[in-house]
Amino acid sequence: MMMTTGEELEVEFVLESIQDLPETIITNGAIVCREVACLEVHLDSKMKKKRFSENELTFTVKGSFEETQQVSVGHDSRSPLPDPTFFHYAKYKQPSLDVVLTKKRRLPSFCACVSCGARSSSVPLTVPLKSLPSEWEAVGEHRKFDLHLKVKKCQEDLDVRLGFDLCAQEQDFIRKRKKVVAAALKDILQLEEDLQEDEVPVVAIMTTGGGTRALTAMYAHLLSVQELNVLDCVSYITGLSGTTWTMSNLYEDPDWSQKDLKETLKDARKHVLKNKFLSCFAPDRLKYYLKELCQREQEGHQICFTDLWGLIIENMLHEKEDFHKLTDQQQALNQGQNPLPIYLSLNVKDKISDQDFREWVEFTPYEVGFPKYGAFIRAEDFGSDFFMGRLIKKIPESRICFLEGIWSSVFSLNLMDAWYISVQSEDFWHKWTRDKITDIDDETLFPARPNELDTRVVCPTDSFSSIFRDVVMLRPAASDIPNFLKGFQMNNNYLESEFSKWKDCELDSQPNHLTVATDHLILIDTAFAFATSYPPLMRPERKVDVILHFNYSSGSQTQPLKDASKYFAKQGIPFPIRVPDDQETPHLKECYIVGDKESSETPIVIFFPLVNDTFRYYKAPGVKRSPAEMAEGDVDVASTRGPYYINNLSYSEEDFDKLVNLSYYNIQNNKDLILQALRAAVERKKQHKKEQLQKPPSGDDTCVPDREGTKHLADCPELGNMK
């Protein structure tokens, strides 16, 4: 009941039981997959071709994946209906097939009959699919049309993995990688005994965005970490924006971390120094871009600006066409020889700020998916068409450069995002572009029930606000990707599932506005909303113990870490609370350890801001500069308009070398702090193991998710009868 001044409106809802056949439902607690049927339509035309050359048949199954398909019948038909054609639909919706014949010339009446048609009718023809047996003939052979319909059950196995746990390939990788890590830790920490598998900490490298600055500094950081023999202790590397360029290049070599990275750095130097305008926009390059985009469209991909940007990135960082794909990077993981790379992107909504709606999408060589929904697909299937968890249309896997265009889509910035970044406030924009939402729970006469959604009144924006929203919220360069969650439904109790760990915006409480209700994903650079790539590492399933935070962002060096701390505190995910602040301490040190004094569930973060501190006076740890060498220590990484500003894609030789030397030195000069954090992590793991052994065993016979985190209705009756 809703109360207004002097008026009262009463609304009554009645819940009725549906008497129908039982349905198999698969759910992970957040989203629900239901049974899918496939309608097969086979059409034969016996009409005289000349008389019927301009007629068109339209087939529609509302709510199906295909929705509507058309066929021109007759002699001049240029787009014949595939024989047969298919419609995939959810069985519970009980749709109908609508057939309409568009007449452009005088035609005999369109007849429909059953089994050689004792009965006829004129267009349109509507056939309830629920009433169809396994095979049904709608038009007899002696009529003008032969229309054969067949309904069959789709495959039961899903092509979308529903579960919040790690995929089998990643779990196998971690087992292999822990052997490498255990040996490396024993060596650098000078341990007397070998570490057992449950005593090996999971160490990760987390990077921030920063364009060419991030690309360059990350190479230097990895080289320095490698020479300290710490790189073999790392199990994950996460990146966004510019650091994905470094990662993609490295993983073209299956053994990159076992080779001297100085040679790799030399190759990167060559590409950073070259003139990007001349190399990227020469006439032959423009012809190449056009050819590649045309071929990509022919393969079935939807072309957008980030595809062009990806080709430009390819030209910036390579001498020739790069044929590598994300799945090729599996070769760099098959023996656990390198850390597992995780690339991060952000799913947003058109005409809605990414502060109001955003969802993390992670890419690994094995899978692409949403930690929030517990839904993942094979990496090679990204960009293909899915419906209700089934792969409907396979599209060739994209080359890695097109993914780089998504991960670093710096040109998808809209006006509201720019305003937010510049002033950290959206109050003005929200006033004019958001729907007005009023919480009326306090006004209701009925007590709130546990786990129910808040009651709200949503008032759409007026015409002026809609126009204003269209102007400021346009994302001309965001990637438009087929939604592999299409067709799924939200579980009735999704807010009580693992979904709640990543619930961070108002729209999360409105199921009809979530990603399962959309046809496409809108993917942008994560840096527009979150300057770090922490989220994949904070999944409890990965159990990350130590994180080396390499910061490459401009402006405040501590702000990305502070933002991450606030975000995860709000989400209830263990993360260091006491972090450095450059507003309180303007002169930042090269390295900080945070989280080591907090709870054992909190990861230890080794924070490396991009600063020029002791490097001004030392060319190597403990080696002072001579007066003639002081100029080499003058590296301006603080100024947003210095040589390393975000929009600068090319550096001079001097600027490149200075940034590399500074980044390399900052790691070398803080070796003791890195080893201190690793030693503390090992002690934590041993202490945790000791505590677990002292705990008495406890039995639990309740219904729990299986290994993939997926529940089946027949196995878990507490899910209820979902229709």
d(CA 665, CA 550): 13
In one-letter notation, the amino acid at residue 339 is P
Which value, to the nearest 10 degrees, does the dihedral of the CA atoms of residues 467, 471, 475, 481 take?
20
CA distances from 42 to 120, 136, 403 (A): 19, 11, 39
Indicate the SS3 state at residue 275.
coil
In angstroms, the CA 651 to CA 631 distance is 18
Q: Which residue has the tokens 């299986």?
A: 706
Chain centre distance of CA 558: 26
CA distance 300 to 295: 9
What is the bridge-based pairing of β-strands 145-153 and 135-137? antiparallel
Q: Pick the closest to residue 366 from 323, 329, 398, 391 (CA basis).
A: 329
Length of the chain: 723
Structural element, H or E, at residue 521: strand 520-524
Q: Is 15 exposed, middle or buried (0-12, 13-18, 19+ CB in 10 A)?
A: exposed
Plot region of 701 (φ>0 → left; ψ -120 to 50 → alpha; else → beta): alpha
Name the residue type at position 453: L
Query: What one-character DSSP code corresponds to residue 539?
Result: -
Instruction: Show the tokens assigned to 175.
Output: 């087992």
- Say how far apart CA 520 and CA 594 lie, in whole Å: 40
Q: Between the CA of residue 7 and those of 4, 12, 460, 511, what are the distances in Å?
A: 5, 17, 22, 30
Distance of alpha carbon 660 from alpha carbon 218, whole angstroms: 9
Active-site amino acid positions: 241, 525
Strand stretches in 534-594, DSSP E: 546-550, 592-594
Q: Are 412 and 477 in contact (CB under 8 A)?
A: yes
Residue 58 CB neighbours (<10 A): 15
CB 590 within 8 A of CB 669: yes
Rg, Å, the chain Cα set: 29
Nearest Cα to 217, choosing from 675, 678, 655? 655
Nearest to 210 by CA among 663, 654, 673: 663
Cis upstream peptide for 84 (omega within 30°): yes
Q: Which of 64, 59, 49, 68 is nearest to 148 (CA)?
A: 59
Torsion 542-546-552-553 (CA) sign:
positive
Token pair, residue 558, equals 């501590």
Q: How far is the C-alpha of 341 from the C-alpha of 687, rounded, in Å?
A: 29
